[in-house]
Structure 1
Amino acid sequence: MADSGIERQELPSPRYEHGGDDYVFVELAEEMSFDANFKAQAITQEIRARDIPGILEVAPSNASYLIQFDPGVVTPADVIAELEALEDDIDLTDYQWDATVYDIPVLYEDPWTHDTLMDFRDRHQDPDATDLEYSARINGFDSVEAFIDHHAGAPHMVTMVGFVPGLPFCFQMRPRDEQIEVPKYEQPRTATPARAVGFGGAFTAIYPVFGAGGYQLYGRTPVEVLDVEQELADFEESMVLPNPGDILNFRKIDREEYDAIREAIEDGSYEYTSEVVEFEPDEFFQHPHEYNERLLEVLA
């Protein structure tokens, strides 16, 4: 089958807003798209690379980004002028960035998230189905197995990290007509296991810690995405893994592999399977399926 490419989205003019005395918020579009997110990734990466005096923090989001600055060093007007210049300079057709591709093993239909979702059926759109059964049905899949294969069948881009520390929001790297969409619970749960793999809207999320949540629950990964004490080798530079712009391959595993990985995590010997690639947005836009295959080949 020919790889027909992804239709590009024309973005509106950015909207610049002040946040108190030391923040600038920039909205690139009202809804998430690859164009909007890749532009946010590119601009925020360039800001970090240029080490602009007075810039304290850079936080990309799905279709926007936030800049924290020191008003004693740089004025809000100068910050916005710099951002406007970057907006004009960056063209995604010739922009690349270094992205880490991570293998993320997932035990789909695991016992822990299953017990949790069954405890909260009264808050769900379909009390008589599991979250996976409901998601498969409303997206037109014949079986839960086919739905899981689709979810794990293409890589996911980490579009932002937030809501709680270390929680990655991931957008599957498929053309729009192949993407799944599922609403959140009608009322949020008061419990979600740490490392649960959930889905809401068009985003996969990995819950870094135990807590409340409203995403549909599909499985659980044995690996950590937050290591506050930075005890694992892969967290030496940051307590958060992965970061915006990185790419995740959700790989189906069985209970035996899950337990083996958890044992290695707990004794501190586990090392993540990952590889750094030069991500090329234009190549992805033109040939998404072929490009995704090449991305995942680096993990083989």
Structure 2
Amino acid sequence: MEQKNYDVILDTLPENESRLEVLFRQAGDGFLQVEYGREQRANLQDSFRIQAINDLVLAKNLNGLIETVPGIRTNMFHFDPAALSVRKLIGEIKEVEDSLTSIEDIVVESRLISLPIAWEDSETKKAVAKYVKEVRPGAPNVINGYNLEYMALCNGISVEEIKNKVLGTEWYNSGGGFWPGGGFFWPMDPRCAIVVPKYNPPRTWTPEGAVGIGGPCIFTYTTPTGGGYQLFGRTIPTFQFSQKHPLFKDSPFLYKSADRIRFFEVTEKDILDIFEHVHNKTDYQYEIKEDQILVKDYLNFYNSEEVQKGAKEFQEKQKEATKTAPRL
């Protein structure tokens, strides 16, 4: 019998002025992955478009569409194939894609969440010490018992400059992360786009609230777990399984897709006090502002001469730093 090749790409839409080529990729009997472009790239304008398309598709209230999982350049559609055929779903998405002719017209609903952060706190330092003792003695990413100096080496700047870049921009959530309640947060300002490799191998333990970075993405650890991001501090709870606190009444997760976070510096004692007021006293008031991203305004900022010049200068420093930073 003649063997036929199986192509996971079921359909495509051609590239145009406002988007890359759209690939409709089979991802299982009840899953369809919609992907922008055939090459990996991390560009927030792709995520802005994905969010807009996602909202328009959900507004159709399609019978059989269970949930969606938007990301930086993909969206996973989970559907019931007995109620909604994959061909009909593709057709509905195509219709919405064709209706969105300009990315500059997009307005993204985006909450702005202010999160306190304590640098080099004792709990994340314990996680690093445990790693060195039990997993990788002499790990090159651990300098003076922590990861901040390694992060600075990888980016060709000082530890203080690393902190300033973390505090100096809003971090945009392209979608749910690999752990319940997590998110992948990207810098809105490219001049703050620090990049570091992940642990090799990963840690076996990370405390709740730890803040780390892997590649260009920041992650706030929602529960005690393993992990591979370079650690630099700790923030407050962003997940509550018990849902005792009023903020978590409707969902145990703090983050939504397209949220932004902005960090501000506090002491470790402040962080521990807030943990008590979230998990036990349940009276802490999170600072969350309902807001929007006007994509046209953001693109004007991103493409401005000042921002692009600063981003390129930083990228040159990073390029040189990779030649001398310890490899993992």
* TM-score bracket, shorter-length normalisation: 0.7 to 0.9
TM alignment of 1:1-300, pairs within 5 A: 11-29=19-37, 30-90=40-100, 91-121=102-132, 122=136, 124-129=139-144, 130-142=146-158, 144-175=159-190, 178-221=192-235, 223-265=236-278, 266-288=280-302
- The residue type equivalent to 2:257 in the other structure is P
Structure 2 Cα separation of the partners of residues 151 and 219 of structure 1? 11
Q: How many residues align?
A: 279
So what's the TM-score if we normalise by structure 2? 0.80
Q: Deviations over 1:143-196 (max 9, x none)?
A: x12211111111100111131111111001112x54110000121111111111
SS in 2 for 1:208: coil
Describe the superposition over 1:47-102 as per-residue Cα deviations: whole angstroms up to 9, x where unpaired: 22332222111110121010011222221101011112222222321011221111
Change (3 A) 1:21 1:259: closer
Task: Give per-residue Cα distances to partners, 1:185-239, cap 9 Å, x unaligned.
Answer: 1211111111110100000001111111000001111x22212222111122222
- Give the aligned residue type for 2:67: E
Q: Give the aligned residue type for 1:263.
A: E
Give the direction of change, closer, same or farther, for the CA distance of 1:93–1:225 in structure 2 (3 Å limit).
Answer: same
Q: Distance in 2 between matches of 1:211 and 1:135?
A: 22
Asked if 2 retains the 8 angstrom alpha-carbon contact of 1:107 and 1:258, the reply is yes
Comparing 18-27 and 267-276, the one that deviates more: 18-27
**Hey, what's the Cα distance between the residues in 2 that align with 1:256 and 1:191?**
22
| Structure 1 runs of 4+ with >3 Å offset | 123-129
* Larger gyration radius, structure 1 or structure 2: 2
The answer to which of 101-110 and 26-35 deviates more is: 26-35
2:165–2:192 CA contact under 8 A, matched in 1: no
How high is the sequence identity, in percent, across the aligned residues? 27
Q: Which residue of 2 aligns with 1:6?
A: none
In 1: Cα distance, 2:34 partner to 2:140 partner: 35
Per the TM alignment, residue 289 of structure 1 is displaced from its structure 2 partner at its CA by 10
Mapped contact 1:125–1:186 kept (Cα < 8 A)? no
Deviation at 1:113, TM superposition (A): 0.5
Further displaced range: 275-284 or 116-125: 116-125
For residues 23 and 70 of structure 1, what CA distance do their matches in structure 2 show?
Answer: 9
- The CA deviation at 1:11 is 4.4
Larger RCO (CA within 8 A; separation ≥ 6): 1
Residue 231 of structure 2 aligns to a residue in which SS?
strand
Amino acid in structure 1 at the alignment position of 2:196: V
Residues 161 and 279 of structure 1, relative CA distance in 2, 3 Å threshold: same
- Return the alpha-carbon distance in structure 1 between the equivalents of residues 249 and 303 of structure 2: 33
How far apart, in 1, do the equivalents of 2:244 and 2:99 lie? 40
User: Residue 127 of structure 1: CA displacement?
Assistant: 4.1
Structure 2 unaligned blocks of 5 or more: 1-16, 305-328
- Report SS of the residue matched to 1:120: helix
